[in-house]
Each structure stands twice: as C-alpha cells, then as structure tokens.
C-alpha cells in the first residue's frame, strides 16, 4: 500500500565566518538547499548536513578551518553511533583557495564548493550522499542568484527587518595584500532589474533596511532597464523609491570609486544613512604605493573633506593594516597622523599577515612581530579614543531607531542608530520591526542607551533630516 506521507525534512547547519557577504551567501545557500528538503537549524548536533562558509582574509584562515573540521569529526562520529549520517561541506573563500587540498587533507569532508557555485549545492549533496567526494570551485557562466531564485517571503520575514543584498562581487584592484581577486574573481555587477526585484520582495516581507554588498561595491556598474550601465548612486536613487525601505547602506567601498554622484547621494537621499566604511589601509604614500592602492594620503583626506561637505554628520569607518613589508617608524607615524586628521567613528585594524598567492607574500623586509604588535596597540588606542568621542557626541540627540531584536535584558529592544551603533532601549515587544524616535541618555563601550521619546512610532524617514539638530 502506497503512502502519501511527505519525506522527512533534513536539517542543515551553516557556520559563517568573515564578512557580511558571507552572511548573505549563507542565507542563499539555505535557500538553494530548501527545495532539496533541507531546513536550517542552529544546532550542529542536530544537522544532517554541516557547511562551513569560510573567509580567507585573516591570518591562518585555512588552518582554522582544518581545526574546526577536527571538532566536527567528533560530532560526525557521535551521530554515527546513534545511527545518523552526517555530511560535511566547506564553502566560501577558503574552499575556493584550497579546493582539492581540503578534500585531500580532511577525509571527514564530503563536499567543497566555491563562492560562485552555490547553485550547484543540491546536486553536490545528492552526489555526496552516494559516496562521491565532490569539489566544485569553478567560476561558472551561470548566474548563481538566478539559479537559486527568489527567497520565499515567509523566509525573508523570518530573518528580521534588516537584510543584506549583494549587488556586486569580485575586485579588479589587485591590492598586493589581498586575496579577493583570486577567490571571488573579477568585478561582476548584477542587473538593476534583478536587484530592484529582490529589494521589493524584501520590503513586501517587512524588511525596512537594506545594506548593499560588494567586495568593491561603489564600482557597481550593473545593466539598467535603459540598456546602459548604472552607477551605485543611480541604483540608490531607484531603491529609495521603494515603499517600505526606510534605510539604505552599502559596503565595502574603495576611495578611487567615490564619484560625485555617490557623494551627493549622501546629501540628497534621506534613506542613505550618514555612515561610510571607506578603507585607506595606510597613511604612508610609500606603503600605499607598495600596496597598489593607487591613491595618496592627501587624496584620501581631500576626498573625506568633500564627502563631509555633502553630509556633515557622517560617521566614517575604515580599515588599517600595520606592519606591511617595509613599513618604517615614519610610515607608521604617517598613518597615525592621517587618523588624527580624519577622525574615525570606528575602524578595523590588523597586523599584516601574508596571504598565499598575493604579491605581498613574496616581498622582503617583513616587520618583526613584536614591532607590529606595538604599532597595532598604539593605533587601536587612538581609534578607540576617537570612537568614544563620537559615541559621547550622540548623548542628548534624538533620532529614529529601527528595532531589530530583543536585547539581553528583560523588556529591552535593540536597533541601530543612523551611524550603525547598537542602541539599547526599554520598550515593549510590540515595537519590534518598527522605527521609533529615541533620545540617547548614555554610552557603553560599543553601544548607546536611550529612552523612547513621547512622539511615538516613526513610519517614514523624515526624522533623519533632523537627527542631529
């Protein structure tokens, strides 16, 4: 006798490392696997399929993956003792860089997939379930986003009122320290119509804030409905017309691609938040040239002046590498002086570590570890003082906050300020997914604390125009 009982749903656990694009990619991997009967779980011990979505930017990234695979071997063994099969996959940039080496070194791995091939996951999982060890790290002609399709609105709604949206991948800049051009490939921009369609679906599902993602997002040049390439600024203007999208952000940008139209979008579009992540990496012209950044410290300073003329209340974030090969005490002091001149609200800073396959890894005159450590501590102390000053400057201001989730304490909700800081407020759960005007009362190390104002719910972006008044 036949049965119409549906097949049991399997579960997939995805551990995400690194950048926001990996967060977005992990969601799309889950979307790709859903038609194959996989539902996402937050418990790796309950997962039939475990995927590590890896990042290759930081030091010893590959070794950290192998260490995690060692731990997962134990999980796989414990589940096997209970009669449960577990497949393990490695995805992302380490998968792209290591490829067959992962399959060779870690026999616990069933599949390896690069960041441009997630649409192949259902087929890869099916092949792996038959005992094949599958490695796919090509750069296919097929658009992975088209192949995966749109995320169901019910799933979008479950992910909260903020979302990432990849609009551009890859990089053509070839900075000598960076592995991105080798793991993500050349710059590719998605068509405007596809981005707008995905953004409208997000808005209809209750997403009110979108962060546009790209390895070099302000180099965006996707084909528009008029048959011409659109700039990121023109795309932002089109997104700002979508009902329900209250806030727009974008990351990560390169200084050489900040054109006048994009700068003016910060002035003209209240939906574009007054926050910009614009990495400079060093303040030394000599080191910038060795990094192949193709801008000078003073060019960066002048660019920041232009942006702040357009948006005086801008919060600026950046990236810094200390100890790049050949960096002298004077080179480092040039970086410190640039930080003093520019003044950052936040920044990410790291000691240089060579990435295999990059020109920087072959350079001589590497800086001793203890010198890099001393420089990093000094730089981070300066950045921290600037961050604290910016945090303190928000005290007493009133502005809208989009409440994203419950806080750690009972009755507390958490959202983001226009400048991307977490804001903690005592408020009822009914205000989740709404935008409320709050007044900042005091600061924490990395967050703000606020009280609700008496004006009630904010349903438009208009209060942003008066945020700092």
List, by residue range, all CATH 3.40.50.12160 domains of the chain: 10-136
Distances from the Cα of 464 to the Cαs of 236, 268, 345, 454, in angstroms?
A: 17, 12, 19, 17
Give me the DSSP letters along 385-451: HHHHHHHHHTTT-EEEEEEEEE-SSTTEEEEE-TTS-EEEEE--GGGTTSEEEEEEEEE-SS-EEEE
> What are the backbone dihedrals phi and psi of residue 35, each rounded to the nearest 5 degrees, phi first?
-65, -20
| Arithmetic mean of pLDDT, 89-98 | 87
Residue among 194, 195, 198, 205 at smallest CA distance from 244: 205
pLDDT score, position 149: 74
pLDDT band for position 113 (cuts 50, 70, 90): very high
> What are the backbone dihedrals phi and psi of residue 286, each rounded to the nearest 5 degrees, phi first?
-65, -45
Query: DSSP secondary-structure letter at 88?
Result: E
Choose which CATH entry (3.30.930.10, 3.30.750.200, 3.40.50.1000, 3.40.190.10) describes domain 279-293+319-393. 3.30.750.200
Residue 456 DSSP SS3: strand
**Whole-angstrom distance, CA of residue 36 vs CA of residue 149:** 14
pLDDT score, position 142: 61
> Does domain 10-136 fall into CATH 2.40.50.140?
no
Give me the DSSP letters along 163-208: EEEE-EE--S---TT--HHHHT-S-EE--HHHHHHHHHHHHHTT--
Average pLDDT taken over every residue of the chain: 90
Q: What is the pLDDT of residues 407-421, one digit of tens each?
A: 999 999 999 999 999
- Span of 69-78, 226-235, 274-283 with lowest mean pLDDT: 69-78
Choose which CATH entry (3.40.309.10, 2.40.50.140, 2.60.120.10, 2.60.40.10) describes domain 398-466. 2.40.50.140
pLDDT band for position 459 (cuts 50, 70, 90): very low
| Arithmetic mean of pLDDT, 277-304 | 98
pLDDT score, position 443: 96
pLDDT score, position 5: 41
Give me the DSSP letters along 91-115: EEHHHHHHTHHHHHH-TT--EEE-T
Q: What is the pLDDT of residues 255-268, one digit of tens each?
A: 999 999 999 999 99
Number of neighbouring beta carbons within 10 Å of residue 368: 9
pLDDT score, position 233: 98
Containing 145, the helix (H) or strand (E) segment is: helix 144-148
| Arithmetic mean of pLDDT, 146-152 | 76
pLDDT score, position 56: 76
List, by residue range, all CATH 3.30.750.210 domains of the chain: 150-273
List, by residue range, all CATH 3.30.750.200 domains of the chain: 279-293+319-393
Q: Which CATH architecture describes the domain 150-273?
A: 2-Layer Sandwich (3.30)
pLDDT band for position 97 (cuts 50, 70, 90): confident
Highest mean pLDDT among 91-100, 110-119, 209-218: 209-218
> Between residues 313 and 454, which one has the greater pLDDT?
313
User: Does the N-terminal peptide bond of residue 252 adopt cis geometry, omega within 30 degrees of 0?
Assistant: yes
pLDDT score, position 6: 40
pLDDT score, position 94: 85
pLDDT score, position 57: 67
pLDDT band for position 179 (cuts 50, 70, 90): confident
pLDDT score, position 357: 83
Q: What is the pLDDT of residues 372-416, one digit of tens each?
A: 999 999 999 999 999 999 999 999 999 999 999 999 999 999 999
pLDDT score, position 59: 59
């Amino acid at each position: 006798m036949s049965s119409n009982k549906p097949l049991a749903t399997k579960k997939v656990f995805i551990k995400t490392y690194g950048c926001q694009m990996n967060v977005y990619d992990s969601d799309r991997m889950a979307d790709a696997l859903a038609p194959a009967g996989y539902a996402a779980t937050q418990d790796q011990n309950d997962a039939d399929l475990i995927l590590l979505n890896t990042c290759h930017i930081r030091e010893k990234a590959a070794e950290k993956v192998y260490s995690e695979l060692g731990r997962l071997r134990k999980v796989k063994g414990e589940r096997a003792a209970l009669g449960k099969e577990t497949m393990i996959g490695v995805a992302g940039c380490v998968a792209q860089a290591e490829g067959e080496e992962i399959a060779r070194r870690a026999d616990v791995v069933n599949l390896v997939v690069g960041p441009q091939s997630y649409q192949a996951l259902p087929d890869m999982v099916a092949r792996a379930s038959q005992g094949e060890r599958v490695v796919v790290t090509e750069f296919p002609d097929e658009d992975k986003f088209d192949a995966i399709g749109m995320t169901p609105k019910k799933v979008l709604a479950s992910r909260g009122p903020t979302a990432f949206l990849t609009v551009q991948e890859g990089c053509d800049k070839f900075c000598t320290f960076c592995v991105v051009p080798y793991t993500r490939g050349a710059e590719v921009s998605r068509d405007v119509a596809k981005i707008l369609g995905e953004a409208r679906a997000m808005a209809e599902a209750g997403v009110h804030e979108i962060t546009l993602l790209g390895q070099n997002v302000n180099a965006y040049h996707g084909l528009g409905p008029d048959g011409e390439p659109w700039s990121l600024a023109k795309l932002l203007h089109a997104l700002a017309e979508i009902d329900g999208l209250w806030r727009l952000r974008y990351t990560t940008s390169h200084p050489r691609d900040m054109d006048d139209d994009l700068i003016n979008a910060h002035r003209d579009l209240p939906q574009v938040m007054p926050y910009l992540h614009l990495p400079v990496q060093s303040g030394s012209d000599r080191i910038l040239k060795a990094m192949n950044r193709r801008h000078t410290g003073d060019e960066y300073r002048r660019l920041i002046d232009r942006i702040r003329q357009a948006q005086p209340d801008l919060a600026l974030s950046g990236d810094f590498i200390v100890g790049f090969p050949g960096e002298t005490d004077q080179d480092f002091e040039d970086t410190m002086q640039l930080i003093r001149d520019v003044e950052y609200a936040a920044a990410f800073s790291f000691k240089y570590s060579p990435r295999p396959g990059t020109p920087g890894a072959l350079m001589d005159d590497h800086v001793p570890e203890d010198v890099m450590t001393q420089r990093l501590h000094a730089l981070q102390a300066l950045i921290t003082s600037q961050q604290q000053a910016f945090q303190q400057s928000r005290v007493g201001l009133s502005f809208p906050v989009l409440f994203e989730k419950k806080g750690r304490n009972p009755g507390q909700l958490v959202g983001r300020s226009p400048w991307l800081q977490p804001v903690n407020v005592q408020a009822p759960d009914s205000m989740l997914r709404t935008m409320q005007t709050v007044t900042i009362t005091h600061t924490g190390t990395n967050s703000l604390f606020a009280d609700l104002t008496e004006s009630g719910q904010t349903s438009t972006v208009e209060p942003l125009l008066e945020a700092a008044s």
